[in-house]
């Protein structure tokens, strides 16, 4: 497998882009080797700058649930672009996307579009603080909600303490209002509420963790967060940037039947173009300018290209059988990966919810970030490189999700499982 062109591009990129990448995980440092540079993608496959082809299970980190360059999306974006790429003014298209989101997610009565998931989570927390008049926020250890200053906070163990910055350049007092608790530990969250009585504006959580690998909520966990927020007058924010329209039209909140106050979206609602959104009850969203005192704005919010792509993808997902097909393919891949690890005698745990999953190289169960962090990342790195050499493109991190799309075929799933079996045996 030649990589000369990708290596040359990486060397060129390092001269003008920090680390040669525009997002750190793309540098492949967690798995070793140099990154590949993608030339194009069609359906379930991508091709790098050297002409190597891969079956893609990254899907641009989740948005491409219909695959690369589906005809409906390409046509929608092309039509929108032919009429103007951006106006900085309102369009009918953004109303249509907002209506779609509200129609499918009952907890969302009004929605504000943004240009990224980071903007969505940052703005939802600002709204929560503005409405409650409180400063404190509880987030879960290992959950990632974008790179806003107050969310780049190290996770603690035991009873959470005030957060410390997890990145240089973040003032300590920015992070001081963010408290952390282990995912799936409701008792810890309850103690934080009691310790900081009347000071917590919101709890923000990925209802299905996706940024420490896929970790589903324990039975009763999300209900417990809902009850605690209601009891203490705090808002419950679900970060469904990954899970929104991935695990179902109603998101994770519909699957687990828990109603948040605010929900953040991204990825799929833009069909692969930059997008974000947050929404919730009408009375809460009325706190945003120009109706209320909480300011939030964005020049490219509701961009017609992103909105058109999102509408096209949602139309595909609304078709009968779409999520049944995703579940079928996800189950086939998940079962295959689990059996491959067992056959190779490699300790591994497969966590899956629908079409998103993670194979952890540890005995399990994997229920929080500490469990995930204890897994064998060196083994994953070897496995990753072996899979890449066999034409299977996975996320270059042990703490990310593997995504199945509607474009994958059963034959490609079988090919990926066969490659995994070989890779596990070669690297054990």
- Residues tagged active-site: 144, 239, 267
String of DSSP letters for 42-96: EBTEEEETTS-EEEESSGGGTT-TT-BS-HHHHHHHHHHHTT-S--SS--HHHHH
Is the separation of the CB atoms in 180 and 155 below 8 Å? Answer: yes
Is the separation of the CB atoms in 254 and 81 below 8 Å? Answer: no
Neighbours of 262 (CB within 10 A): 27
d(CA 225, CA 237): 10
Query: How far are the Cα atoms of 76, 232, 356, 357 from residue 351, in angstroms, in the given order?
Result: 35, 32, 9, 5
Torsion-angle region of 14 (φ positive above 0: left; ψ -120 to 50: alpha; else: beta): alpha
Query: How far are the Cα atoms of 32, 359, 375, 409, 421 from residue 394, in angstroms, in the given order?
Result: 14, 11, 17, 17, 15
Is the separation of the CB atoms in 163 and 179 below 8 Å? Answer: yes
What does the block give as tokens for 380?
């994953």
């Amino acid at each position: 497998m030649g990589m000369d062109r990708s290596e040359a591009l990486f060397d060129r990129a390092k001269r003008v882009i920090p680390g040669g990448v525009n997002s750190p995980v793309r540098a492949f440092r967690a798995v070793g080797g140099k990154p590949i540079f993608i030339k194009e993608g069609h359906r379930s496959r991508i091709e790098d700058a050297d002409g190597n082809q891969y079956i893609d299970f990254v899907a641009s980190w989740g948005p491409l649930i219909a695959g690369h360059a589906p005809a409906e999306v390409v046509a929608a974006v092309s039509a929108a672009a032919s009429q103007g790429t951006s106006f900085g003014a309102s369009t009918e298209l953004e109303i249509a996307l907002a209506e779609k989101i509200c129609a499918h997610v009952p907890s969302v009565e009004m929605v504000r579009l943004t240009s990224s998931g980071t903007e969505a989570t940052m703005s939802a927390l600002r709204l929560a603080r503005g409405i409650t008049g409180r400063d404190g926020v509880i987030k879960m250890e290992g959950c990632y909600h974008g790179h806003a200053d107050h969310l780049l906070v190290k996770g603690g163990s035991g009873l959470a303490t005030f957060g410390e910055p997890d990145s240089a350049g973040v003032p300590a007092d920015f992070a001081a209002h963010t408290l952390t608790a282990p995912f799936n530990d409701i008792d810890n969250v309850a103690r934080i509420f009691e310790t900081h009585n009347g000071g917590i504006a919101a709890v923000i959580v990925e209802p299905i963790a996706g940024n420490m690998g896929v970790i589903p909520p324990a039975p009763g966990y999300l209900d417990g967060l809902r009850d605690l927020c209601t009891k203490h007058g705090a808002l419950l924010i679900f970060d469904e940037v990954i899970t929104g329209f991935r695990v179902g039209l109603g998101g994770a909140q519909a699957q687990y039947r828990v109603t948040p106050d605010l929900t953040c979206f991204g990825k799929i609602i833009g069909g692969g173009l930059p997008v974000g959104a947050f929404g919730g009850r009408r009375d809460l969203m009325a706190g945003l300018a120009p109706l209320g005192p909480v300011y939030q704005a964005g020049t490219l919010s509701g961009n017609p290209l992103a909105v058109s792509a999102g509408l096209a993808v949602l139309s595909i997902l609304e078709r009968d059988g779409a999520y049944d097909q995703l579940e079928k393919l996800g189950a086939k891949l998940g079962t295959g990966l689990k059996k491959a690890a067992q056959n190779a005698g490699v300790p591994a745990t497969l966590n899956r919810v629908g079409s998103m999953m993670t194979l952890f190289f540890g005995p399990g169960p994997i229920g929080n970030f500490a469990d995930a962090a204890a897994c064998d990342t060196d083994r994953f790195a070897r496995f990753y490189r072996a899979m890449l050499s066999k034409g299977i493109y996975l996320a270059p991190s042990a703490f990310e999700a593997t995504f199945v799309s509607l474009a994958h075929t059963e034959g490609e799933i079988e090919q990926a499982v066969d490659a995994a079996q070989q890779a596990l045996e070669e690297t054990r």
